[in-house]
Amino acid sequence: MAETRRPRRRRPRAGEQRGAARPASPAPDPDGPVVELEVERVAHGGVFVAHHEGRVVFVSDAIPGERVSARITDRRHDRFWRAETLGVLRASPDRQDHVWAEASVERAPGNRAGGAEFGHIRMDRQRALKAEVLRDALSRMGGVETDVEVRPVDPELAPGVAPDGTGWRTRVRLQVAADGAVGPYAARSHTVVPVASVPLAVPGLAALAPLDGRFPGARAVDLVAPSVGEPAIVVVDAERMPRGPRPTIEERVGDRVFRLDRDGFWQVHRGAAATLSRAVQDLVDGDLFDPAAANLDLYGGVGLLAAAVGDRFGRAVRITTVESDAGATEHAGANLADWVGARAVTARVDRFLDDAVQGSTAAERPRWHDATVVLDPPRSGAGRQVVDRLAELRPRQLVYVACDPVALARDVGLLRERGYRLADLAAFDLFPNTHHVEAVARLTAIV
């Protein structure tokens, strides 16, 4: 039986605004002109670059090297237009049958399910395109020329995930239409489309998804499959915050179990938490790490990456995890109880760093200069204010976990201007069949 809940309201992370609405995409123009386009290269955001009569056109559902028939859906901008592929006139050898039939180019654009915008591309080419976007962003915005390979998740860390990039999502949100029907939003819109499958979901969720159900009055239906315990259907039915304790779940990473609120943040790929824990452990330079310094885990959630640092360097490691969500911080304190030097602080990251800068005496500065800082900001990145404060504290090394290549590149550029260099970079395909990519970068202070 499905459980009903009201959505929580969490304190926004740094860079987010309380009460900010999700930007609405402009309604596609169903009567826009149909043109033929030569697709040239990939762009950030899961779209591809073409030109028409000298103007840049960002077109979806294509592959570089293809010729497609496309409808121009947005002509509001002078410098570029947006388009949706209607048909493929000359296919790339990397085109495959879409892993999600309901998202295929065979469907009309307004009925294509969103959330699998690379599912028509062979897996090796998907990763090459993601690496291209990351390299290009770092070059243009970060001022860094570097090569990078987007690596698949180790199959040992993600049992059940198929080689074609299906079966990995442990959290799925189904939207609810006015008539109570459920489904994903259509690509680049807020229109709910019916589907018969959710192939990116882990098998337990795919079997549980109530795709033929009706939920009148609900806002959404959340499907959650923790690594410990049974999957659940949760009906989100109102705007008000619930009273009393929130349901919790447990997630296992290696030999450790993390407790968190069921509607709290956790990496969505079955193997993502273990992959990122291992990556952070690998990228921290042990020669630069001081276990007694004022080490930080910023935007720390329930303590996943602080625990990764503690597991590598021992129980006496001093590390403070900082998170604006009070519920997550409470769980972090319990999840990090093994480490005598660990503590969890509820605070916005920018304000915490403001206090650290203002409260540091000359005698305390060496604690910061010797520190290692791990940060895993939201999609918008850390931003100028946080980067400025970090540069003032001047930690030895930063290990930056990023889910958006453009935000990462911008912050790498800001840090370069403030005396840091990009020393190492790893990237992982934690979102197969989508355009998203996760990167972990290590930056070190230039002496």
* 334: CATH: 3.40.50.150
323 marked among binding-site residues: yes
Same domain for 289 and 142? yes
Strand (E) positions, 299-357?
319-323, 342-346
Separation CA 321–CA 343 (nearest Å): 6
Separation CA 319–CA 294 (nearest Å): 6
Same domain for 415 and 333? yes
Strand (E) positions, 118-238?
150-151, 171-176, 182-183, 220-224, 232-236
Q: Which two tokens stand for residue 425?
A: 């970079």
Q: Centre a 10 Å sphere on the Cβ of residue 240 and count the other Cβ atoms it contains.
A: 9
Question: What's the average model confidence in pLDDT over 423-440?
Answer: 98
Same domain for 267 and 222? no
Asked whether residue 47 carries a pLDDT value surpassing 50, the answer given is yes
Q: Which two tokens stand for residue 174?
A: 């189904």
Asked whether residue 287 carries a pLDDT value surpassing 90, the answer given is yes
- Chain centre to alpha carbon of residue 290: 30
Same domain for 210 and 262? no
Question: What's the average model confidence in pLDDT over 88-94?
Answer: 98
Domain end point (choices 46, 78, 95): 95
Tell me if 163 is assigned to some domain.
Answer: no
CATH number of 81's domain: 2.40.50.140
Same domain for 186 and 291? no
Tell me if 313 is assigned to some domain.
Answer: yes
Tell me if 439 is assigned to some domain.
Answer: yes
DSSP code at position 46 = T
Domain end point (choices 50, 75, 95): 95
Same domain for 425 and 277? yes
SS3 353: helix
pLDDT at 315: 87
Asked whether residue 280 carries a pLDDT value surpassing 80, the answer given is yes
Asked whether residue 245 carries a pLDDT value surpassing 90, the answer given is no
Instruction: Count how many domains the chain has.
Output: 3
Same domain for 231 and 268? no
Separation CA 36–CA 50 (nearest Å): 10
Same domain for 259 and 368? yes
pLDDT at 359: 78
Asked whether residue 19 carries a pLDDT value surpassing 90, the answer given is no
Residue type at 401?
Answer: V
* Averaged pLDDT score across all residues of the chain: 91
Same domain for 373 and 399? yes
Is-catalytic flag, 403?
Answer: yes
Query: Measured in Å, how far apart are the chain's first and last C-alpha atoms?
Result: 60
Output the pTM of the full model. Answer: 0.91
Q: Which two tokens stand for residue 55?
A: 């103007």
pLDDT at 188: 83
Same domain for 313 and 287? yes
Establish how many alpha carbons lie within 13 A of residue 22's alpha carbon, considering only the half-sphere containing its beta carbon: 5
Q: Identify the domain containing residue 225 by its residue range.
A: 171-240
Kindly state the helix (H) or strand (E) to which residue 397 belongs, with its residue range: strand 397-402
Same domain for 220 and 263? no
pLDDT at 17: 30
Exposed (0-12), middle (13-18) or buried (19+): which is 86, by Cβ within 10 Å? middle
Tell me if 147 is assigned to some domain.
Answer: yes
**Between residues 38 and 21, the one the model is more confident about:** 38
Asked whether residue 51 carries a pLDDT value surpassing 70, the answer given is yes
185 marked among binding-site residues: no
Query: In this structure, are residues 183 and 211 in contact, taking their beta carbons and an 8 Å threshold?
Result: yes
Residue 194 confidence class, pLDDT cut points 50, 70, 90: very high
Of 89-93, 217-221, 237-241, 365-369, least confident by mean pLDDT is: 237-241
Asked whether residue 430 carries a pLDDT value surpassing 80, the answer given is yes
Tell me if 325 is assigned to some domain.
Answer: yes
Same domain for 233 and 368? no
Q: Which of 403, 425, 437, 440 is catalytic?
A: 403
pLDDT at 358: 87
